[in-house]
């Protein structure tokens, strides 16, 4: 059961001028499933992306990196579900390239103007022929108001589609930022998550896009984890069609740049949090905030240790305030000179531990009250500096095991 998440209504998703999305059933893995999405971009559009740090990166990720290295001008994106085309060696690269070439031919583009994405089972041969056969139908279906349909077509074990949209005023013009994402398991993005796409019609110098996509990823997709498994296919794209008609943004620090930046980050965070809310088997949405660190990196390290602990995650599932498990995770997070006698632990407003031990006023019933909530904030103060970091995660339930034990059956 997703935690405080509902499917986006099509009318909530503002179209982005210059972006059209078309969907079809290509029968990649199963019949009668909308599994192929083609996104076309108006000429002049720019794209920047961040990708998985998994050394076993999928063929489409390798090709995206190669095509983006040729420059930010892109015209089309092709996304299939049902097959990740990862762990497929040289053959996987050949097949992913053939899909780009086929789409480029039909749209009269160069193959380098196409970016391919795949998600699904690892180490199976990509049925490139079926994908190629589906391209004409997907192209024919392309419309600016198909964001909700695309959000649905890129799902795998997701139970709900994920999309977010907002508008800001820049230079007297309305600028739109709309995006979609997918992912529910194998989620511990270390660049971006398994498929996030955010598009804007803002007029912005293409050289600023890479900086913006990296910052947005660092503040959204790179701050979530479900099971600690960094995927082979994580990809997050930021697309700008430059159609909004305002004067070009030449600096992210300008008022106009800041307005766009803030909208892009907000949409990215909403999309990233939606992935956690729909995490495989999730029943709780948990914010882990670590404060008082010497640097951000050690705060993240502690936050991830808590977020990945199966014992902490099962305690949340059980609504059991077995909170010593959180202290144990803080202790093994890898900070060699951590002084346990300084640690404070809070569960929402409840002060659980002080100076590394149980707080004298802490009562089990207060811990139980918070643990029963669907959304919980864990706050740890290390008291050794003034830096902080936040990570979002979910609990570990029976359904996680069921879903992942049955995924391919």
Q: Mapping DSSP to helix (H, G, I), strand (E, B) and coil, where does residue 381 land?
A: strand
Confirm if 22 and 143 have CB atoms less than 8 A apart: yes
Task: Please indicate if the annotation marks 409 as binding a ligand.
Answer: yes
- Give catalytic status of residue 193 as yes or no: yes
Spot the catalytic one: 193, 232, 241, 283.
193
Binding mask 117-156 for a copy of itself (x = CB under 8 A): ----xxxxx-------------------------------
Write the CB contacts of 129 (distance below 8 Å, at least 6 apart in sequence): none
Q: Is 404 annotated as a binding residue?
A: yes
Q: Which is nearer to a copy of itself, 207 or 295 (CB)?
A: 295
Which of 74, 85, 79 minimizes the C-alpha distance to 107? 74
Closer residue to a copy of itself in complex, CB, 135/396: 396
Site for a copy of itself in 165-204 (CB under 8 A): 185-186, 188, 190
Contacts of 382 (CB under 8 A, 6+ apart): 290, 291, 292, 293, 298, 299, 302, 330, 335, 338, 342, 343
Distances, alpha carbon 213 to alpha carbons 46, 137, 296, in Å: 12, 31, 20
Q: Is the separation of the CB atoms in 323 and 376 below 8 Å?
A: no
Q: Judged by CB under 8 A, does residue 228 bind a copy of itself?
A: yes
Q: How far is the CB of 188 from a copy of itself (least distance, A)?
A: 8
Rounded distance between C-alpha atoms, residue 177 and residue 204, angstroms? 13
**358 belongs to the binding site for a copy of itself (CB under 8 A):** yes
Q: According to the annotation, is 156 in a ligand binding site?
A: yes
Give CA angle at 148 (143, 153), nearest 5°: 90
Task: Answer whether 308's CB lies under 8 Å from 228's CB.
Answer: yes
Stretch that binds a copy of itself, among 99-107, 127-135, 198-206, 323-331 (CB under 8 A): 323-331
Applying CB under 8 A, which of residues 294, 356, 369, 385 lies at the interface with a copy of itself? Answer: 356
DSSP letters, 115-152, are EEEEEEESSS---HHHHHHHHHHHHHT-BTT-HHHHHH
If one asks whether residue 24 binds a copy of itself (CB under 8 A), the answer comes out as: no
Residue 311 binds a copy of itself, judged by CB under 8 A: yes
The mark string for 51-70 relative to a copy of itself (x by CB under 8 A, - otherwise) is: --xxxxx-------------
Per-residue contact string for residues 363-402; x = within reach of a copy of itself by CB under 8 A: ---------------------------------xxx-xxx
Residue number, 132 or 231, with CB nearest to a copy of itself:
231
Binding residues for substrate: 156, 182, 193, 280, 404, 409
């Amino acid at each position: 059961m997703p935690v405080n998440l509902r499917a986006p209504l099509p009318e909530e998703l503002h179209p982005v001028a210059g972006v059209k999305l078309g969907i079809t059933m290509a029968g990649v893995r199963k019949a009668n499933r909308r599994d192929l999405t083609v996104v076309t971009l108006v000429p002049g559009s720019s794209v920047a992306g961040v990708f998985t740090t998994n050394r076993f990166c999928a063929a489409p990720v390798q090709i995206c990196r190669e095509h983006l290295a040729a420059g930010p001008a892109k015209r089309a994106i092709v996304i299939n579900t049902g097959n990740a085309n990862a762990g497929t060696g040289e053959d996987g690269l050949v097949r992913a390239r053939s899909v780009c070439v086929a789409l480029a031919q039909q749209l009269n583009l160069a193959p380098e103007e196409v970016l391919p994405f795949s998600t699904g089972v690892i180490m199976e041969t990509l049925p490139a022929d079926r994908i190629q056969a589906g391209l004409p139908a997907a192209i024919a279906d392309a419309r600016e108001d198909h964001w909700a349909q695309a959000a649905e077509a890129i799902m795998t074990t997701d139970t709900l589609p994920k999309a977010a949209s907002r508008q800001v005023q820049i230079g007297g013009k309305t600028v739109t930022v709309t995006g979609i994402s997918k992912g529910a398991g194998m989620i511990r993005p270390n660049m971006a998550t398994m498929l996030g796409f955010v598009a804007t019609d803002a007029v912005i110098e293409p050289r600023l896009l890479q900086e913006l996509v990296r910052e947005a990823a660092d503040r959204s997709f790179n701050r979530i984890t479900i099971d600690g498994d960094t995927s082979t296919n994580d990809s997050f794209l930021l697309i700008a069609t430059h159609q909004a008609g305002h004067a070009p943004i030449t600096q992210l620090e300008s008022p106009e740049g800041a307005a766009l930046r803030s909208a892009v980050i907000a949409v990215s965070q909403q999309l990233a949090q939606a992935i956690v809310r729909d995490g495989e088997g999730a029943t709780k949405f948990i914010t882990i905030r670590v404060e008082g660190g010497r640097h951000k990196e050690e705060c993240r390290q502690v936050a991830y240790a808590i977020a990945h602990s199966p014992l902490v995650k099962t305690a949340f599932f059980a609504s059991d305030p077995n909170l010593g498990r959180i202290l144990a995770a803080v202790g093994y997070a890898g900070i060699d000179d951590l002084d346990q006698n300084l640690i404070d632990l809070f569960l929402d407003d409840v002060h659980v531990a002080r100076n590394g031990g149980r707080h004298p006023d802490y009562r089990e019933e207060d811990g139980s009250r918070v643990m029963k909530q669907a959304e919980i904030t864990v706050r740890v103060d290390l008291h050794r500096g003034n830096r902080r970091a936040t990570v979002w995660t979910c609990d570990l339930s029976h359904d996680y095991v069921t879903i992942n034990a049955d995924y391919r059956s």
